Amino acid sequence: MKKTMTFAAALLAASVLGGMANAKTLVYCSEASPANFDPGTTTGGNDFDASSRTVYSRLVEFKHGGTEIEPGLADKWEISDDGLVYTFHLHPGVKFQTTDYFKPTRDLNADDVVFSFDRQFNKQNPWNGEKYLPNLTWDYYTGMDMPKYVAKWEKVDDLTVKLTLTEPNAPMLANLGMDFASIVSKEYADQLEKDGKMADFSTKPIGTGPFQFVDYQLDSVIRYAANPDYFKGKEKIDDLVFAITPDATARIQKVLAGECDVAPYPNPADIATIKANKDVTLMDQAGLNIGYMSYNTTIPPLDKPEVRHALNQAIDREALIKSLFQDAGATPAQNLIPPTMWSWNKAVKFDSYDPEAAKKVLADAGLKEIQLWASDRVRPYNPNFQRAAELIQADWAKVGVKAEIVNYEWTKYREEGKKKERPGAFQIGWTGDNGDPDNFFATLFACSAIGVSNYSSWCDKDFEDLIQKAKKTSDQGERTKLYEQAQEIFAKQAPAFLLAHSQVYAVVRNNVSGFKMDPLGIHRFDGVDKAE
Amino acid sequence: MLRYLLNKIALLIPTLVGITICAFAFVRLLPGDPILAMAGEHGVTPARYEELKEQFGYNLPIWEQYARYVGEVATGDFGVSISSKRPVLQEFKTLFPATLELSFFAMIFAMVIGIPAGIFAAVKRGSWFDQSLMGTALVGYSMPIFWWGLLLIIFFSGYLGWTPVSGRMGLQFFLRPITGFMTIDSLLYGKWDAFRSALSHLVLPAIVLGTIPLAVIARQTRSAMLEVLGEDYVRTARAKGLSAARVIGVHALRNALIPVVTTIGLQVGTLLAGAILTETIFAWPGIGKWMVDSIFKRDYVVVQSGLLLIALIVMAVNLIVDVLYAVINPRIRAA
């Protein structure tokens, strides 16, 4: 008997050690440190990669590598005919992660869902304010207009939750797939509140996602382990490590040296080196973004569509894109939304380069001088505002329009640029949040966005009616038609010069499989495997 | 000596007040509004903007914001980061050992090479070695850290594969920090391979950060040695028939080191400034990288308190150097 026990113990030790030796570790060289691990309170893509996409899950999820909505913690849902009531049915038996700082005693239920949202708007909830963390702003919850549309969240029974809206809002479902809508554990929150350690909620996260948090060394390394109880099945990699590496060149050198397996955002200048290396693959995808230049449509002569068209026609867009994006490449924009998004109208074509025609219209309109705005910041949709401004300035000079370049630091730039009285052409852009066309059309060109993010101060009744109607319609086929019409109006009215949709890149070692580029700009490691 | 020390400390008070004003004013002079920086491309409605301004206390008159800030700092409250919501002092304490460890090794590198090189150049004054050393020192002094760091990474880590690209230790080692100094912690855990990994990670950043101090120390040692070598007592020592090694090593070097010690002390400021770039390139989790990140985020609280904490350290080091100087050279005390 004793012998058997000894043998069993030896076997167990061998298997544990063997398991350790064979543990699959995937290292991701991330671009920045996360602010914290509570996705409701943060706004950066790097924050979300480190929290919501690893540790947490949501009621609905974006399809891996796409923007379509698929079931998450909710197996199914119903939307009432009037579009006001959403009923979600939760997947039974979903376990919260068990770690050395929290042992859950119950499965996920409706209380967790209600709590996850309630804490973001209810001032009476102790987790809404100072008691939890100082200076909380819940930026995404307010930024996505949730306070305006959500009337209440209710628990129907343990596995059923009801969301009532104040008015129909079709993008709501896509909003619930966003990072701020991650579902947290009420039991964990209650325990921390009782122990007087509420701040731990943002540094030691507990969720239902594919990986569980192990350790974070500030500004250096984040460690996760595969969640053994993950409701969609345990991941193939055992350990996930984020090595925080802010410099793009160092990040790429680390992948080439085998110190990390995946790294995002290479410098355009390094792309040729990466392509030449046989151990790594450069992955790319058209980003869910748009670079554009808003004309102030309220100040003559820019209030006339033909003048705006003429300015567009005077710009050699192909040369401009080539000069700005170089080897990284970008897709010239035909519409405000990128071609990967549903409802993109393929019949619409952006103004073609025709300086001769432009010259005449601009001379007739008497446009001789214009302000052209540029900032110092590198954005995914425009790597160099200043260079773009100089090239456009040269093109406009050829048609007799003298452009004066106006420069401001990035935050000041947007502060000045959004003012209704700001003259001229203002370079800006957008990266989508949730894959819904409303997130582009309404956010950037709704009448209500004037003074906030409608830099053209453009308010067109027909366009407005269409996008507002689309917002209230749940049927996607019908919404598609409405957005297609809206794009025709946009093309006709030309409130902006459309530049391009840029590519987003990641570098992946060849022994990694299952990693997908994501149009929303997130980096997910569920479904990823690594060969030894 | 006590009087000398008290005098020095008294002089620090106006400096300290000046630093709080500078730290407070500089972040506010930076263009860009922290609330808009937080809102990103989404923008923020005017009503919400006002609400947030009040929440963060930015609606108060500027002098009141300053008074509040000084009051808090005086009681040891350095505030809470706007972005991470963690206490600034706690973040500083976590990150500072990394900067200290890097600066320490950079300084060792600068001294171990800089002092002998300076001595040798002085002894062989005018030789090709002297000429090329001084030329190289000038290059080292004027080289942009950012370019130098990336060049070393691409050559030694990328091309030759001799050193790790960045970070503080191989990721296979998972040690929860005890002191925060990886070289010490790995030894405390008894892990030799982790210790070797920590050392190998220090090589490139220490060279990059140590290059400017190395150039300064080499030049300073050379000129101090030249001065001393011309003194009467050195000539006397030589005349007495002492060996060249003894003349240089004992009689000349000890006296030449006095200005060199001061130079080394003054290089602490240079090291902390250089750490900002070096840490960013090498993903070194220290206070330099922390400050850069915070400036980009317009995290006023971290920037102004971080500046103050760094200034306090530089002041403390300078005070220690002054005291050491007085110990080495008693004439200073009377002056």
pLDDT (0 to 100) of residue B42: 62
Q: B228 in helix, strand or coil?
A: helix
Contacts of B42 in chain A (CB under 8 A): 139, 143, 443, 453
B165 touches chain A (CB under 8 A): yes
Cβ within 8 Å of residue B112, ≥6 positions away: none
Measured distance CA(B82)–CA(A518) in Å, rounded: 29
Determine the distance in angstroms separating the CA of A376 from the nearest CA of chain B, rounded to an integer: 12
Least confident of A10-19, A208-217, A258-267: A10-19
Confidence grade of residue A221 (pLDDT, cut at 50, 70, 90): very high
- Say if residues A62 and A439 touch (Cβ distance below 8 Å): no
Contacts of A409 in chain B (CB under 8 A): 30-32
Determine the distance in angstroms separating the CA of B150 from the nearest CA of chain A, rounded to an integer: 7
Q: B306 in helix, strand or coil?
A: helix
Q: Tell me whether residues A139 and B42 touch, CB distance under 8 A.
A: yes
Nearest to B285 among A27, A217, A256 (CB): A217
Q: Does residue B327 have a pLDDT over 80?
A: no
DSSP string, A287-316: -SEEEEEEE-TTSTTTTSHHHHHHHHHTS-
Measured in whole angstroms, how far is the alpha carbon of residue A436 from the centre of its chain? 11
- Say if residues A287 and A380 touch (Cβ distance below 8 Å): yes
- Residue A22 or residue B117, greater confidence: B117
Kindly report the number of other CB atoms within 10 A of residue A260's CB atom: 28
Q: What is the pLDDT of residues B179-229, one digit of tens each?
A: 989 999 999 999 999 999 999 999 999 999 999 999 999 999 999 999 988
Compare all CA atoms of chain B with the CA of A411 and give the residue at the minimum distance. Answer: B32
Measured in whole angstroms, how far is the alpha carbon of residue B213 from the centre of its chain? 10
Confidence grade of residue B243 (pLDDT, cut at 50, 70, 90): confident
Q: Tell me whether residues A247 and B56 touch, CB distance under 8 A.
A: no
Q: Tell me whether residues A415 and B36 touch, CB distance under 8 A.
A: yes
pLDDT (0 to 100) of residue B43: 65
- Residue A431 or residue B335, greater confidence: A431
Q: Does residue A410 have a pLDDT over 80?
A: no
Q: Tell me whether residues A246 and B280 touch, CB distance under 8 A.
A: yes
Residue B173 Rama label (left phi>0; alpha psi -120 to 50; beta): beta
Give B141: exposed, middle or buried? Use CB within 10 Å, 0-12, 13-18, 19+. middle
pLDDT (0 to 100) of residue A22: 63
- Say if residues A243 and A109 touch (Cβ distance below 8 Å): no
pLDDT (0 to 100) of residue B20: 87
- Say if residues A373 and A424 touch (Cβ distance below 8 Å): yes
* pLDDT, average across residues B84-99: 91
Q: Tell me whether residues B285 and A244 touch, CB distance under 8 A.
A: yes
Compare all CA atoms of chain B with the CA of A131 and give the residue at the minimum distance. Answer: B85
Question: Which residues on adjacent β-strands are paired with residue A264?
Answer: A506
Measured distance CA(A499)–CA(A489) in Å, rounded: 18
Q: What is the pLDDT of residues B57-80, one digit of tens each?
A: 788 888 888 888 888 888 888 888
Measured distance CA(A328)–CA(A274) in Å, rounded: 12
Q: Does residue A10 have a pLDDT over 60?
A: no
Cβ within 8 Å of residue A317, ≥6 positions away: A332, A350, A353, A499
Q: What is the pLDDT of residues A474-492, one digit of tens each?
A: 888 999 999 999 999 999 9
B282 touches chain A (CB under 8 A): yes
Q: Tell me whether residues B166 and A247 touch, CB distance under 8 A.
A: yes
Q: Tell me whether residues B157 and A142 touch, CB distance under 8 A.
A: no
Nearest to B43 among A36, A218, A453 (CB): A453
Determine the distance in angstroms separating the CA of B292 from the nearest CA of chain A, rounded to an integer: 11
B36 touches chain A (CB under 8 A): yes
Measured distance CA(A394)–CA(A403) in Å, rounded: 8
Q: What is the pLDDT of residues A331-385, one digit of tens each?
A: 999 999 999 889 999 999 999 999 999 999 999 999 999 999 998 777 878 888 9
Measured distance CA(A396)–CA(B64) in Å, rounded: 49
- Say if residues B23 and B308 touch (Cβ distance below 8 Å): yes
pLDDT (0 to 100) of residue A512: 96
Measured distance CA(A486)–CA(A441) in Å, rounded: 9
Q: Tell me whether residues B166 and A451 touch, CB distance under 8 A.
A: no
Q: A351 in helix, strand or coil?
A: coil
pLDDT (0 to 100) of residue A145: 85
B298 touches chain A (CB under 8 A): yes
DSSP A129: S
Determine the distance in angstroms separating the CA of A12 from the nearest CA of chain B, rounded to an integer: 23
Compare all CA atoms of chain B with the CA of A219 and give the residue at the minimum distance. Answer: B285
The amino acid that residue B279 corresponds to is: E
Give pTM, 2 decimals.
0.83
- Say if residues A262 and A25 touch (Cβ distance below 8 Å): no
Mutation pick from B42, B77, B96, B155 vs chain A, by most beta carbons of A within 10 Å, is B42
* pLDDT, average across residues A399-427: 89
Least confident of A232-236, A390-394, B22-26, B151-155: B22-26
- Say if residues A321 and A333 touch (Cβ distance below 8 Å): no
Q: Tell me whether residues A418 and B43 touch, CB distance under 8 A.
A: yes
Q: Does residue A416 have a pLDDT over 80?
A: yes
Q: What is the pLDDT of residues A152-188, one digit of tens each?
A: 999 999 999 999 999 999 999 999 999 999 999 999 9
Q: Does residue B34 have a pLDDT over 90?
A: no
B240 touches chain A (CB under 8 A): no
Mean pLDDT, all residues of chain B:
86
Confidence grade of residue B41 (pLDDT, cut at 50, 70, 90): low
How long, in residues, is chain A?
532
Measured distance CA(A319)–CA(A326) in Å, rounded: 10
Contacts of A36 in chain B (CB under 8 A): 84-86
Compare all CA atoms of chain A with the CA of B161 and give the residue at the minimum distance. Answer: A257
Determine the distance in angstroms separating the CA of B138 from the nearest CA of chain A, rounded to an integer: 27
Mutation pick from B155, B157, B166, B289 vs chain A, by most beta carbons of A within 10 Å, is B166
pLDDT (0 to 100) of residue B40: 59
Determine the distance in angstroms separating the CA of A367 from the nearest CA of chain B, rounded to an integer: 30
Q: Tell me whether residues B171 and A221 touch, CB distance under 8 A.
A: yes
